[in-house]
C-alpha cells in the first residue's frame, strides 16, 4: 500500500492513518487464578451529557449508573470510533475500524472477515462461555453472524435500530437468534413495536445466560450491545412518558433500570466480586431530531470528529482489583478495552496483525497514575479527520455538523482552554503539525507489514504478506 499523508489531492482527501504503538526449565506451571466473568454493556449513540454523574443535562435521574461509576473507575476522556460498525469492530478486535474494513456500511459484504479475532474467540480456549444479545451490526449473512466470530449464542438484530422503520415502508427486517454450529434464523419481525421491547428481551436473556453459567461454574463473557438510544428512540411501554423529558429521557430511565437488573443479578448469584462490569457507549450523541442527544460540555455529535462525537461515558467495576471512587481525564480509546480485558482474563492478544489497543489494566487498578495512551487518530471512512494528543486536537478537515460537508481546513485547539473547539490556534503553535505528524509516519510504516483490509472484502481473507 502506498504511503499516505494529509494533503488534498484532486479535490478529495487522501487517507491519513495513525498508529500508536515461558517457564524456566524444571519449573511446574503456577496454578492460574479463576478467570473473571466479563459483562460489557454497550449502548448505542448515547451522549456523555445524558448521565447524571457526567452532568445529566436532561435532568433524568440515573441512580444505578451513577452508583456503578462510584464503585470503580470513571473516565471523562474515553473515546470511540465515529459510528456504530467500526466502533463495534474496534472494541471486539482492538483494531481501528479502518484496519478491519469496517469503516463504512457495505450491504453486500459488510462486517468482519472471519480472519479477524474477536475477544470472544480469544476467551474460548480459556474456558469462557460467550454470548451476545442486542445489536450486532458487523454482518447480516451466514459467515458474518456473531456465532461466526466466537460467540456461542446470540439474539438480536444483525444491522441497526433504524431498520425498524423500514418495516413500514419496504423490506421487512427481523430479530434473529443463533447458536454455534447451527444456522441463525429469524424469530419475529423487527418493527416499531418490537423496537420498544428489544432491550428488555436482551436484558432478560443476559440474566438467564449468567444464571446458567454460574450453575455450571463456568466463567462467561456477556456482551450486551443495547439498542437504546439510537433512533428511532422509542422507549419500552413501561417507561414511555414517565420522565417528562421526551423519548430520549424515557429511554434513559429504561437504560438505567436495565443496568440495575444486570447488577442485581450479579449480586443475587454471588459473583459480583469476580465479575468485571464495563458500561460504555459506541459513539457520541445522536444528531437526528426529534431524538437529538446531548454531548454535555462538548460540541458536536457522532459521525463527526468533534469531541461530542468522540467522548463517551465509561465506567468499569472489578471489586478488589479496581479501587472505587476513581475519576480520570486521561485519554483512553475503546480499542484499549480489548487489550485490557485480554490481560485481565489471562489470554494473549494476536501477534500476527497490528493491534492498536493498549493494555490499561495497571492504570485502571490504580497502580500507575496515568494512562498508557498519549493520543489516537480519528477516522471517517477512509480518511482521518483529526488527531488527539494529550490536550491538543488537530483537525485535518473541518466538519462540526454531521449534515454539513467536510471542508479542507486545518484547525488546532487546546481542549482544556477551549473545550467547544471554537478558536483555531494553529498559527500560534507551528510545532503542532510536526509533532502530531510523527504518529502518521509511524502508522505509515506499519502498513508495510499490515496492509488495511479493504471495505467489502469477502471471505476467505488472507493477508498479502
Q: What is the pLDDT of residues 349-364, one digit of tens each?
A: 999 999 999 999 999 9
Which of 84, 96, 230, 395 is the catalytic position? 84
Alpha-carbon distance 428 to 80, whole Å? 29
Q: For the domain that residue 193 is a member of, what is the CATH number? A: 3.40.720.10
Cell of 322: 479496581
Which of 137, 230, 236, 257 is the catalytic position? 137
Q: pTM score, two decimals?
A: 0.92
- Determine what percent of the chain falls in helix, strand and coil, rounding each to the nearest 5: 30, 20, 55
| Domain termination site, one of 332, 364, 396 | 364
Give the count of domains, the chain. Answer: 2
DSSP code of 148?
G
- Mark whether 125 and 189 lie in a shared domain: yes
CB-count exposure of residue 29 (10 Å: 0-12, 13-18, 19+): exposed
In a domain, 463, yes or no: no
The pLDDT, as a whole number, for residue 107 is 61
- Mark whether 414 and 294 lie in a shared domain: no
The pLDDT, as a whole number, for residue 15 is 40
The pLDDT, as a whole number, for residue 6 is 41
Alpha-carbon distance 32 to 46, whole Å? 38
Cα 349 to the center of its chain, rounded Å? 18
- Mark whether 395 and 345 lie in a shared domain: no
In a domain, 278, yes or no: yes
- Mark whether 348 and 394 lie in a shared domain: no
Q: Check pLDDT > 80 for residue 10.
A: no
In a domain, 31, yes or no: no
- Mark whether 350 and 384 lie in a shared domain: no
- Mark whether 102 and 212 lie in a shared domain: yes
Per-residue pLDDT tens over the stretch 399-457: 998 888 999 999 999 999 999 999 999 999 999 999 987 877 787 788 889 999 998 89
- Mark whether 274 and 387 lie in a shared domain: no
Alpha-carbon distance 276 to 222, whole Å? 10
- Mark whether 351 and 397 lie in a shared domain: no
- Cα dist. 454→14, 160, 178 in Å? 15, 22, 28
Nearest to 91 by CA among 348, 345, 378, 335: 335
Q: Write phi, then psi, for 223 (nearest 5 degrees).
A: -105, 120
In a domain, 19, yes or no: no
In a domain, 464, yes or no: no
Do the beta carbons of residue 387 and residue 393 sit within 8 Å?
Answer: yes
Q: For the domain that residue 402 is a member of, what is the CATH number? A: 3.30.1120.10
In a domain, 326, yes or no: yes
- Mark whether 348 and 402 lie in a shared domain: no
The pLDDT, as a whole number, for residue 391 is 96
Per-residue pLDDT tens over the stretch 311-352: 999 999 999 999 999 999 999 999 999 999 999 999 999 999
Q: What angle do CA 27, 32, 35 make, to 5 degrees?
A: 165
Do the beta carbons of residue 334 and residue 90 sit within 8 Å?
Answer: yes
Q: How confident is the model at residue 26 (pLDDT cuts 50, 70, 90)?
A: very low
Beta strands (DSSP E) in 55-209 are: 73-79, 129-135, 153-157, 174-179, 185-189
- Mark whether 257 and 312 lie in a shared domain: yes
Do the beta carbons of residue 248 and residue 291 sit within 8 Å?
Answer: yes
Do the beta carbons of residue 101 and residue 353 sit within 8 Å?
Answer: no
| Domain termination site, one of 330, 364, 398 | 364
Neighbours of 85 (CB within 10 A): 26
Length, in residues, of the chain: 465
Beta strands at 174-179 and 185-189: parallel, antiparallel or unpaired: antiparallel
- Give yes or no: 185 in active site: no
- Mark whether 247 and 204 lie in a shared domain: yes
Do the beta carbons of residue 303 and residue 47 sit within 8 Å?
Answer: no
In a domain, 388, yes or no: yes
- Print the domain residue range for 411: 375-449
In a domain, 144, yes or no: yes
Alpha-carbon distance 182 to 161, whole Å? 25
- Mark whether 357 and 396 lie in a shared domain: no
Do the beta carbons of residue 4 and residue 15 sit within 8 Å?
Answer: yes
- Give yes or no: 465 in active site: no
Cβ-proximal residues to 111 (8 Å cutoff; 6+ apart), any chain: 85, 102, 137, 138, 139, 140, 144
| Domain termination site, one of 308, 334, 364 | 364
Amino acid at each position: 500500500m502506498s504511503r499516505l499523508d494529509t494533503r488534498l489531492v484532486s479535490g478529495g482527501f487522501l487517507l491519513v492513518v495513525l498508529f500508536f504503538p515461558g517457564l524456566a526449565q524444571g519449573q511446574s506451571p503456577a496454578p492460574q487464578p479463576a478467570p473473571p466473568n466479563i459483562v460489557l454493556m454497550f449502548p448505542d449513540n448515547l451522549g456523555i451529557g445524558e448521565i447524571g454523574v457526567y452532568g445529566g443535562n436532561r435532568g433524568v435521574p440515573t441512580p444505578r449508573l451513577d452508583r456503578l461509576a462510584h464503585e470503580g473507575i470513571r473516565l471523562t476522556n474515553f473515546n470511540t470510533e465515529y459510528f456504530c460498525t467500526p466502533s463495534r469492530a474496534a472494541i471486539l478486535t482492538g483494531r481501528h475500524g479502518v484496519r478491519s474494513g469496517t469503516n463504512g456500511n457495505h450491504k453486500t459484504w459488510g462486517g468482519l472477515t472471519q480472519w479477524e479475532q474477536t475477544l470472544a474467540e480469544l476467551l474460548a480456549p480459556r474456558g469462557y462461555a460467550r454470548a451476545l444479545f442486542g445489536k450486532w451490526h458487523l454482518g447480516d449473512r451466514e459467515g458474518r453472524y456473531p456465532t461466526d466470530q466466537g460467540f456461542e449464542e446470540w439474539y438480536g438484530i444483525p444491522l441497526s435500530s433504524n431498520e425498524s422503520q423500514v418495516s413500514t415502508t419496504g423490506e421487512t427486517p427481523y430479530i434473529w437468534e443463533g447458536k454455534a454450529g447451527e444456522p441463525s434464523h429469524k424469530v419475529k419481525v423487527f418493527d416499531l413495536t418490537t423496537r420498544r421491547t428489544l432491550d428488555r428481551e436482551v436484558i432478560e436473556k443476559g440474566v438467564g445466560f449468567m444464571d446458567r453459567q454460574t450453575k455450571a461454574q463456568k466463567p462467561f463473557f456477556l456482551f450486551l450491545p443495547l439498542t437504546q438510544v439510537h433512533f428511532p428512540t422509542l422507549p419500552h411501554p413501561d417507561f414511555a412518558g414517565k420522565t417528562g423529558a421526551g423519548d430520549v429521557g424515557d429511554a434513559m430511565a429504561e437504560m438505567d433500570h436495565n443496568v440495575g437488573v444486570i447488577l442485581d443479578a450479579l449480586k443475587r448469584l454471588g459473583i459480583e466480586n469476580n465479575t468485571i462490569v464495563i458500561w460504555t457507549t459506541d459513539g457520541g450523541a445522536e444528531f437526528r431530531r426529534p431524538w437529538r442527544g446531548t454531548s454535555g460540555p462538548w460540541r458536536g455529535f457522532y459521525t463527526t470528529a468533534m469531541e461530542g462525537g468522540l467522548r463517551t461515558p465509561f465506567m468499569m467495576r472489578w471489586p478488589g482489583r479496581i479501587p472505587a471512587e476513581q475519576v480520570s481525564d486521561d485519554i483512553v480509546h475503546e480499542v484499549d478495552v480489548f487489550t485490557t480485558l485480554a490481560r485481565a482474563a489471562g489470554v494473549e492478544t494476536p501477534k500476527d496483525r497490528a493491534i492498536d489497543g493498549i493494555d490499561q489494566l495497571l492504570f485502571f487498578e490504580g497502580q500507575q497514575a496515568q494512562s498508557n495512551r498519549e493520543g489516537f487518530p480519528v477516522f471517517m471512512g477512509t480518511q482521518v479527520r483529526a488527531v488527539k494528543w494529550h490536550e491538543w486536537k488537530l483537525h485535518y478537515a473541518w466538519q462540526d455538523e454531521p449534515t454539513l460537508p467536510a471542508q479542507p481546513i486545518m484547525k488546532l485547539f487546546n481542549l482544556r482552554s477551549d473545550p467547544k473547539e471554537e478558536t483555531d490556534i494553529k498559527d500560534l503553535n507551528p510545532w503542532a503539525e510536526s509533532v502530531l505528524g510523527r504518529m502518521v509516519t509511524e502508522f505509515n510504516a506499519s502498513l508495510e507489514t499490515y496492509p488495511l483490509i479493504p471495505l467489502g472484502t469477502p471471505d476467505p481473507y488472507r493477508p498479502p504478506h
